[in-house]
Amino acid sequence: MRALLIAAAAAGLVGLAGCGQGTGDGGDDVSAGTDRSSVVAEPTPPEVTRTPPETKPQDPPGDTEAKGTPAARVTLSPSGPVVPPDVRQVPAEQVDASAVPEYNEHRGLVWVYDDGYSLQTFAMATSGCTGVEGEVVTETASEVVIATRPLPQPQGGPADGRMCTTVMTPRPVTVTLDAPLGDRTVRLESGR
Residue 72: how many CB atoms within 10 A of its CB? 21
Q: What's this model's pTM, rounded to 2 decimal places? A: 0.61
* In the chain, where the domains are located: 65-155+163-190
Predicted local confidence at residue 172, as pLDDT: 93
Q: Mapping DSSP to helix (H, G, I), strand (E, B) and coil, where does residue 12 land? A: helix
152-186: burial string, b at 16+ Cβ within 10 Å, e else: ebeeeebeeeeeeeeeebbbbbbbebeeebeebeb
Predicted local confidence at residue 161, as pLDDT: 77
Predicted local confidence at residue 1, as pLDDT: 53
Helices (H) and strands (E) in the chain, counts: 1, 10
| Rounded CA separation 163/165 (Å) | 7
What tens-digit pLDDT sequence spans the chain (192 residues)?
Answer: 555 555 555 555 545 455 555 444 444 444 444 444 444 444 444 443 333 333 333 333 333 344 456 788 999 999 999 999 999 999 999 999 999 988 888 999 999 999 999 999 999 998 888 889 999 999 999 999 999 999 887 777 777 877 877 888 899 999 999 999 999 999 999 876
| Rounded CA separation 178/140 (Å) | 10
| Rounded CA separation 150/179 (Å) | 26
